[in-house]
Chain A
Amino acid sequence: MRTKIINYAVAFLVLLVLNFILPRLMPGDPLSAIYGEEVLVQMSPELKANLIGRFALDKPLWEQFTSYISSLAKGDLGYSYYQNAAVSEIILAHLPWTLLLMGLAIIFSSVVGIIMGIESGWKRGKLMDKTCLTGMMTLSGFPSFFLGMMLLLFFAVTLRFLPLQGARTAYGNLTGGWIVLDVLKHLILPLTSLTLAEIPANYLLTRNTMIINAREPFILTAKAKGLPDSKVRYRHAGRNSLLPVVTRIGIKLGIIVTGALFVEIIFSYPGVGNLIYTSLLMRDYPVLQGSLIMVTAFVLLVNLGVDLIYKKLDPRT
């Protein structure tokens, strides 16, 4: 158990060290590599002295690193000279949209994937199973951003049925329930793309586990007791197929996060993914690094949590 926690801590430390060392390895002025070119426009002697002091850039590398870590520990992720705001504030403003999109996508994709997987695995080799399997295989080839583009072009551009981009109508002056409706309308396409991209993995894993579980003696016992088929399928075989899927969702959170990143970019959805993209384009390094650190910390924490819970669910490990 302790080694698990240490692994996560070391992984986070590796990311911090990379975050620290990469801008300093860049040729040229480290200030512009750390803050982006924009800082040079606003540069005055006082600001320069202030920035150098802040990152201890005139001190040896080790002292620079300790001052970097200690400011991070205080929750100070730096300052963006493009947006003239603290990085932590910028990220916090974008975070709710990503959590909304990702949370709903995880729920929908696991429910659909697990139910289809249970049904398909139970009826293995039948027409329904073969159709589902082929369909899911094909779907799994599509990258989330291509799915997003297709939905965008079909529903928003060709049919003009749903909004093209953003999370809310700008200057809409909406009130009450209309705000919720507006948010939902903007959410449909990004959510559908991300959910569709996530279903196949959950489906395939559930189906495989179902097939293996269906041969276990306890299924035979349940059938012999005369339980109805649906009960054996869900209460016995299905329930025992849940564990690997739930673990997968936790462990593969990093993949879902990156999927959300690309979907947000397609629909200009104002979440962290879009923030990472715009900061990449603008070379706004403080925001880019801050967002990547936050996302990694989030993913690592959830993974650690899943690891800890898994110990409780499955005492064999």
Chain B
Amino acid sequence: MHIRYWEKLEKDPFGKTGLILVIFFAMLAAVVPLVTQNPTTQTSFIFKPPSITHPLGTNDVGQDIWSRLVWGARTSFLVGLGVGVLSTLLATLLGASAALIGGWYEGVVMRTVDVLLVIPTVILVILIAAFITPSIWLLIVVISLFRWQGAARIIRAQTLSLRKSMHISAAKSFGASTSYILFKHIIPDLGPILVVSFIYSCRMAIFLEASLAFIGIGDPSVISWGKMMRHALNFYYLDVWKWWLLPTGVALSAFILSFTLLSYCLEKAMDPRLDESNV
């Protein structure tokens, strides 16, 4: 199936909102940390309410909360993108190769998929992370290793049916080369599945990283929204939560929401029965 992504996203209010939010957070994560104060500098100005020098005030050790918030966006973005790319890559490689090679290789891959599908991912990641206290890169790898199975199954099924489909045979009969078929037909046909699986993985990884950081699992030197929220909650009896916990939580929720909106819009594009404009 070929989808005009841009047209779908632009027409759909949900898709548009999601896209704008993602771009906003991308800018926030990429550019803003370059111009903020050092987020780790501790000062004697503790628990200060928002002011011009500290747009979101300061925390219990006098660090500027606004600069910690934008650095936290970097962490979330990195984990989301990392897991999105790595898990989609794993899914494509394993799913497509299983379909193309077949035999005992396919059996082994699909058995692994079946087993991974029933394992509760979060519990497994907590268990592993509790022992190895992963750095951010290792966390990306660990999450991805338990996050490719669903997409791999769909990709295998699609590749199997694509191999036998008419337009591929037609292209072959016109003398198209393998690479031409791969890039002009197979990849665009798998495209929507890859994009949706990428978005799902991003969303899940951002959520999982924040949750793990919230319960104290993760690299202690990395600034993470989950960790900030946990830390801020310790001072619930002060007013600081209004500019410490609230903006952080809203940022995290809005970031997760943007991926939900994008995936909902694209799902609709893939299943026309759900599309309002076709009623």
The answer to whether residues A212 and B274 also contact, given A143-B207, A149-B245, A157-B237 and a CB cut-off of 8 A, is yes
| Interface pick from A13-21, A48-56, A108-116, A238-246 | A13-21
Q: Which residue of A lies closest to B241 (CB)?
A: A153
Given contacts A7-B115, A15-B124, A258-B123, 14 further A-B contacts (CB under 8 A): A19-B127, A22-B127, A137-B14, A138-B257, A141-B257, A142-B256, A145-B211, A146-B229, A255-B122, A262-B214, A285-B130, A299-B123, A300-B118, A303-B118
25 A–B pairs (Cβ distance < 8 Å), ordered by A: A7-B111, A7-B118, A11-B118, A15-B124, A18-B128, A22-B127, A23-B131, A25-B131, A125-B276, A137-B257, A142-B256, A145-B211, A145-B214, A146-B229, A153-B245, A157-B237, A254-B121, A257-B120, A258-B211, A262-B215, A265-B215, A277-B215, A280-B217, A288-B127, A292-B126
A-side contacts of B258, CB under 8 Å: 141
A3 to B264, CA, bound (A): 33
Main secondary structure of the interface of A (DSSP, over half): helix
Flag if A137 contacts B127 (CB, 8 Å): no
For the complex, is A99 an interface residue (Cβ under 8 Å from B)? Answer: no
A140 to B253, CA, bound (A): 9
A149 to B210, CA, bound (A): 14
A26 to B130, CA, bound (A): 11
Most chain B CB within a 10 A radius of its CB, from A19, A149, A153, A212: A149
Flag if B274 contacts A211 (CB, 8 Å): yes
Most chain B CB within a 10 A radius of its CB, from A19, A254, A303: A254
For the complex, is B10 an interface residue (Cβ under 8 Å from A)? Answer: no
Main secondary structure of the interface of B (DSSP, over half): helix
Q: How many residues of A contact B (CB 8 A)?
A: 54
A303 to B115, CA, bound (A): 13
A289 to B256, CA, bound (A): 30
The answer to whether residues A140 and B126 also contact, given A254-B121, A280-B215, A299-B120 and a CB cut-off of 8 A, is no
